Protein backbone atom coordinates (compact mmCIF):
# COMPACT_ATOMS: atom_id res chain seq x y z
CA UNK A 1 0.00 0.00 0.00
CA UNK A 2 1.30 3.45 -0.83
CA UNK A 3 2.26 5.79 1.99
CA UNK A 4 0.08 8.61 3.27
CA UNK A 5 1.76 11.80 2.07
CA UNK A 6 1.91 14.39 4.86
CA UNK A 7 1.24 17.77 3.27
CA UNK A 8 3.56 20.27 4.94
CA UNK A 9 2.14 23.26 3.12
CA UNK A 10 -1.34 22.56 4.47
CA UNK A 11 0.01 21.84 7.96
CA UNK A 12 2.05 25.05 7.91
CA UNK A 13 -0.98 27.02 6.76
CA UNK A 14 -2.90 25.70 9.79
CA UNK A 15 -0.12 26.73 12.17
CA UNK A 16 0.21 30.14 10.53
CA UNK A 17 -3.55 30.73 10.79
CA UNK A 18 -3.42 29.83 14.51
CA UNK A 19 -0.52 32.24 14.98
CA UNK A 20 -2.29 35.04 13.08
CA UNK A 21 -5.28 34.68 15.43
CA UNK A 22 -2.94 34.78 18.42
CA UNK A 23 -1.17 37.86 17.06
CA UNK A 24 -4.48 39.71 16.67
CA UNK A 25 -5.41 38.87 20.27
CA UNK A 26 -1.94 39.93 21.48
CA UNK A 27 -2.17 43.24 19.63
CA UNK A 28 -5.67 43.91 21.01
CA UNK A 29 -4.44 43.28 24.53
CA UNK A 30 -1.06 45.01 24.47
CA UNK A 31 -1.51 47.67 21.80
CA UNK A 32 1.38 46.45 19.65
CA UNK A 33 2.16 43.51 17.42
CA UNK A 34 5.06 41.10 18.13
CA UNK A 35 8.34 42.17 16.49
CA UNK A 36 10.70 39.76 14.74
CA UNK A 37 14.16 40.77 13.52
CA UNK A 38 16.12 38.68 11.01
CA UNK A 39 19.83 39.41 10.72
CA UNK A 40 21.81 38.28 7.71
CA UNK A 41 25.55 38.69 7.29
CA UNK A 42 26.67 38.69 3.66
CA UNK A 43 24.62 38.04 0.54
CA UNK A 44 24.38 34.25 0.27
CA UNK A 45 21.45 33.68 -2.11
CA UNK A 46 19.89 30.85 -0.04
CA UNK A 47 20.06 32.96 3.13
CA UNK A 48 18.53 35.85 1.19
CA UNK A 49 15.59 33.66 0.19
CA UNK A 50 15.07 32.31 3.71
CA UNK A 51 15.24 35.77 5.23
CA UNK A 52 12.78 37.19 2.73
CA UNK A 53 10.41 34.27 3.32
CA UNK A 54 10.56 34.69 7.09
CA UNK A 55 9.88 38.44 6.91
CA UNK A 56 6.97 37.94 4.49
CA UNK A 57 5.43 35.25 6.68
CA UNK A 58 5.78 37.42 9.80
CA UNK A 59 4.04 40.28 8.03
CA UNK A 60 1.23 38.00 6.83
CA UNK A 61 0.70 36.86 10.42
CA UNK A 62 0.31 40.49 11.50
CA UNK A 63 3.72 40.82 13.14
CA UNK A 64 6.25 43.61 12.68
CA UNK A 65 9.17 42.14 10.74
CA UNK A 66 12.51 43.82 10.36
CA UNK A 67 15.36 42.65 8.15
CA UNK A 68 18.92 43.72 8.82
CA UNK A 69 21.58 42.81 6.27
CA UNK A 70 25.20 43.41 7.25
CA UNK A 71 28.25 43.31 4.98
CA UNK A 72 30.15 40.05 4.56
CA UNK A 73 33.13 41.62 6.38
CA UNK A 74 31.19 42.34 9.61
CA UNK A 75 33.22 41.52 12.71
CA UNK A 76 32.08 39.82 15.91
CA UNK A 77 32.21 43.06 17.93
CA UNK A 78 29.93 44.86 15.49
CA UNK A 79 27.47 41.98 15.44
CA UNK A 80 27.56 41.75 19.24
CA UNK A 81 26.78 45.46 19.49
CA UNK A 82 23.77 45.04 17.22
CA UNK A 83 22.52 42.02 19.18
CA UNK A 84 22.91 43.98 22.44
CA UNK A 85 20.88 46.83 21.00
CA UNK A 86 18.10 44.46 19.91
CA UNK A 87 18.20 42.65 23.27
CA UNK A 88 17.40 46.01 24.89
CA UNK A 89 14.75 47.05 22.36
CA UNK A 90 11.24 46.58 23.79
CA UNK A 91 9.69 46.39 20.32
CA UNK A 92 11.74 43.28 19.53
CA UNK A 93 10.31 39.98 20.78
CA UNK A 94 12.38 37.62 18.66
CA UNK A 95 15.58 37.76 16.67
CA UNK A 96 17.68 35.35 14.70
CA UNK A 97 20.96 35.40 12.86
CA UNK A 98 20.66 33.45 9.64
CA UNK A 99 23.18 30.58 9.49
CA UNK A 100 25.74 29.87 8.19
CA UNK A 101 27.71 33.01 9.04
CA UNK A 102 31.07 34.03 7.48
CA UNK A 103 34.20 32.43 8.97
CA UNK A 104 35.29 35.43 11.07
CA UNK A 105 32.08 35.12 13.11
CA UNK A 106 31.46 32.54 15.79
CA UNK A 107 28.09 30.78 15.89
CA UNK A 108 28.50 29.85 19.58
CA UNK A 109 29.28 33.47 20.51
CA UNK A 110 26.14 34.57 18.63
CA UNK A 111 24.00 31.91 20.31
CA UNK A 112 25.31 33.00 23.71
CA UNK A 113 24.79 36.70 23.02
CA UNK A 114 21.11 36.69 22.00
CA UNK A 115 18.93 36.95 25.11
CA UNK A 116 17.37 33.52 25.67
CA UNK A 117 13.87 35.04 25.81
CA UNK A 118 14.39 36.53 22.32
CA UNK A 119 16.20 33.52 20.87
CA UNK A 120 13.33 32.30 18.70
CA UNK A 121 15.61 29.81 16.90
CA UNK A 122 16.07 28.09 20.26
CA UNK A 123 19.80 27.54 19.62
CA UNK A 124 21.13 29.21 22.78
CA UNK A 125 22.63 27.10 25.57
CA UNK A 126 19.86 28.22 27.91
CA UNK A 127 17.05 27.15 25.58
CA UNK A 128 18.72 23.88 24.61
CA UNK A 129 19.24 23.23 28.32
CA UNK A 130 15.59 23.94 29.01
CA UNK A 131 14.64 21.52 26.26
CA UNK A 132 16.78 18.81 27.78
CA UNK A 133 15.31 19.54 31.23
CA UNK A 134 11.73 19.59 29.90
CA UNK A 135 11.25 23.21 30.99
CA UNK A 136 9.33 25.79 28.91
CA UNK A 137 11.50 27.76 26.49
CA UNK A 138 12.07 28.44 22.82
CA UNK A 139 12.35 25.12 20.99
CA UNK A 140 14.12 24.88 17.59
CA UNK A 141 11.59 25.34 14.80
CA UNK A 142 12.19 22.47 12.39
CA UNK A 143 12.02 19.70 15.01
CA UNK A 144 8.81 21.26 16.36
CA UNK A 145 7.41 21.14 12.84
CA UNK A 146 8.24 17.45 12.54
CA UNK A 147 6.49 16.73 15.86
CA UNK A 148 3.37 18.61 14.78
CA UNK A 149 3.22 16.64 11.53
CA UNK A 150 3.56 13.36 13.39
CA UNK A 151 0.85 14.42 15.84
CA UNK A 152 -1.56 15.65 13.15
CA UNK A 153 -1.06 12.42 11.18
CA UNK A 154 -1.72 10.46 14.39
CA UNK A 155 1.50 8.47 14.07
CA UNK A 156 1.82 6.34 17.24
CA UNK A 157 4.68 7.71 19.34
CA UNK A 158 4.60 6.02 22.74
CA UNK A 159 7.13 3.19 22.75
CA UNK A 160 7.91 3.62 19.05
CA UNK A 161 11.52 3.31 17.90
CA UNK A 162 12.54 6.64 16.39
CA UNK A 163 15.80 6.81 14.46
CA UNK A 164 17.10 10.32 13.84
CA UNK A 165 19.76 10.35 11.14
CA UNK A 166 21.87 13.47 11.76
CA UNK A 167 23.17 15.03 14.97
CA UNK A 168 23.07 18.76 14.21
CA UNK A 169 22.24 21.35 16.83
CA UNK A 170 19.50 22.70 14.57
CA UNK A 171 17.63 19.45 13.98
CA UNK A 172 19.11 16.11 15.08
CA UNK A 173 19.85 16.82 18.74
CA UNK A 174 16.68 18.79 19.58
CA UNK A 175 14.59 16.36 17.51
CA UNK A 176 15.83 13.47 19.62
CA UNK A 177 14.82 15.31 22.83
CA UNK A 178 11.32 16.06 21.53
CA UNK A 179 10.76 12.45 20.46
CA UNK A 180 12.04 11.26 23.83
CA UNK A 181 9.62 13.61 25.60
CA UNK A 182 6.80 11.88 23.69
CA UNK A 183 8.02 8.52 24.97
CA UNK A 184 9.70 7.26 21.83
CA UNK A 185 12.77 5.07 22.15
CA UNK A 186 15.30 7.21 20.32
CA UNK A 187 18.46 6.33 18.43
CA UNK A 188 20.57 9.14 16.99
CA UNK A 189 22.56 7.97 13.97
CA UNK A 190 25.21 9.83 11.97
CA UNK A 191 27.89 9.50 9.33
CA UNK A 192 29.95 7.08 11.41
CA UNK A 193 27.10 4.82 12.49
CA UNK A 194 27.80 1.20 11.56
CA UNK A 195 25.39 -0.46 9.15
CA UNK A 196 23.02 2.46 8.89
CA UNK A 197 20.61 0.67 6.51
CA UNK A 198 19.98 -2.13 9.04
CA UNK A 199 19.48 0.38 11.86
CA UNK A 200 17.04 2.42 9.78
CA UNK A 201 15.06 -0.74 9.02
CA UNK A 202 14.27 -1.01 12.75
CA UNK A 203 12.72 2.49 12.85
CA UNK A 204 8.99 3.04 13.31
CA UNK A 205 9.78 6.73 12.83
CA UNK A 206 12.71 7.70 10.64
CA UNK A 207 13.81 11.34 10.64
CA UNK A 208 16.38 12.14 7.94
CA UNK A 209 18.41 15.27 8.62
CA UNK A 210 21.85 14.69 7.12
CA UNK A 211 22.00 16.94 4.07
CA UNK A 212 22.85 14.14 1.61
CA UNK A 213 20.48 13.95 -1.36
CA UNK A 214 18.38 10.77 -1.52
CA UNK A 215 20.62 8.88 0.90
CA UNK A 216 17.77 6.94 2.54
CA UNK A 217 16.79 4.17 0.12
CA UNK A 218 13.56 2.21 -0.14
CA UNK A 219 15.09 -0.95 1.32
CA UNK A 220 16.19 1.00 4.43
CA UNK A 221 12.57 1.59 5.43
CA UNK A 222 10.47 -0.67 7.66
CA UNK A 223 7.06 -1.31 6.07
CA UNK A 224 4.52 1.10 7.56
CA UNK A 225 7.12 3.46 9.11
CA UNK A 226 6.76 7.25 9.21
CA UNK A 227 9.53 8.78 7.07
CA UNK A 228 10.15 12.45 7.84
CA UNK A 229 12.52 14.14 5.39
CA UNK A 230 14.22 17.26 6.72
CA UNK A 231 16.76 17.48 3.87
CA UNK A 232 16.80 20.40 1.47
CA UNK A 233 19.53 19.71 -1.09
CA UNK A 234 20.00 21.76 -4.21
CA UNK A 235 21.16 19.34 -6.93
CA UNK A 236 21.59 19.63 -10.70
CA UNK A 237 18.23 17.85 -10.98
CA UNK A 238 16.50 20.34 -8.66
CA UNK A 239 15.55 20.33 -4.99
CA UNK A 240 15.95 16.92 -3.34
CA UNK A 241 15.42 15.63 0.18
CA UNK A 242 17.60 13.20 2.10
CA UNK A 243 15.11 10.47 1.20
CA UNK A 244 14.76 8.66 -2.15
CA UNK A 245 11.09 9.59 -2.21
CA UNK A 246 9.54 7.30 -4.82
CA UNK A 247 11.22 4.16 -3.45
CA UNK A 248 10.48 4.97 0.18
CA UNK A 249 6.85 5.96 -0.49
CA UNK A 250 6.19 2.40 -1.69
CA UNK A 251 7.20 0.98 1.69
CA UNK A 252 6.43 3.68 4.27
CA UNK A 253 3.14 4.24 6.10
CA UNK A 254 3.60 8.02 6.05
CA UNK A 255 6.09 10.19 4.20
CA UNK A 256 6.86 13.89 3.78
CA UNK A 257 7.72 15.20 0.30
CA UNK A 258 10.45 17.69 -0.65
CA UNK A 259 9.53 20.42 -1.36
CA UNK A 260 6.23 20.90 0.45
CA UNK A 261 6.97 18.74 3.50
CA UNK A 262 8.89 19.70 6.62
CA UNK A 263 10.34 22.88 5.04
CA UNK A 264 7.25 25.11 5.31
CA UNK A 265 6.82 24.11 8.96
CA UNK A 266 10.12 25.74 9.93
CA UNK A 267 8.87 29.24 9.20
CA UNK A 268 5.48 28.48 10.72
CA UNK A 269 7.12 27.54 14.02
CA UNK A 270 9.43 30.55 13.89
CA UNK A 271 6.24 32.63 13.96
CA UNK A 272 4.76 30.48 16.73
CA UNK A 273 7.95 30.89 18.79
CA UNK A 274 7.89 34.66 18.25
CA UNK A 275 4.30 34.91 19.46
CA UNK A 276 5.12 32.76 22.51
CA UNK A 277 8.19 34.90 23.21
CA UNK A 278 6.08 38.06 22.98
CA UNK A 279 3.58 36.62 25.47
CA UNK A 280 6.33 35.60 27.88
CA UNK A 281 7.91 39.07 27.72
CA UNK A 282 4.56 40.87 28.04
CA UNK A 283 3.55 38.61 30.92
CA UNK A 284 6.81 39.37 32.68
CA UNK A 285 6.29 43.14 32.49
CA UNK A 286 2.58 43.40 33.39
Q: Which residues are catalytic?
A: 54, 98, 121
Residues that bind ligand GUN (CB under 6 A): 96-99, 121, 141-142, 170, 266
How far apart are alpha carbons 118 and 269 in whole angstroms? 14
> In this complex, which beta carbon is closest to ligand GUN, that of residue 101 or of residue 196?
101
Closest CA to 15 of 271, 238, 277: 271
Task: Give 133's contacts (C-beta < 8 A, 6+ positions apart).
Answer: none
* Measured CA angle at 173 (ends 171, 178), to 5 deg: 85
Nearest distance in Å: CB 184, ligand GUN: 22
Closest CA to 120 of 285, 275, 265: 275
> In this complex, which beta carbon is closest to ligand GUN, that of residue 34 or of residue 231?
231
> In this complex, which beta carbon is closest to ligand GUN, that of residue 22 or of residue 143?
143
Nearest distance in Å: CB 202, ligand GUN: 29
Which DSSP symbol is given to 174?
A: H
Nearest distance in Å: CB 170, ligand GUN: 6
Nearest distance in Å: CB 48, ligand GUN: 12
C-alpha torsion angle, residues 43, 46, 49, 50 (rounded to 10): -110
How far apart are alpha carbons 51 and 98 in whole angstroms? 7
Amino acid sequence: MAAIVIDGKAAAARVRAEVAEGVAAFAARYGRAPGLVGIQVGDDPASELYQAGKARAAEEAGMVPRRITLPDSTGQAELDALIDELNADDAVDGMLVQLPVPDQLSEPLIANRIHPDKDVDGFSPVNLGRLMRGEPGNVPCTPQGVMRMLRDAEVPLVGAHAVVVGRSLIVGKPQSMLLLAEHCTVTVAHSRTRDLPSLCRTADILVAAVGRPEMIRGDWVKPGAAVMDVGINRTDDGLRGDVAYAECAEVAGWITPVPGGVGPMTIAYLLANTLDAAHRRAGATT
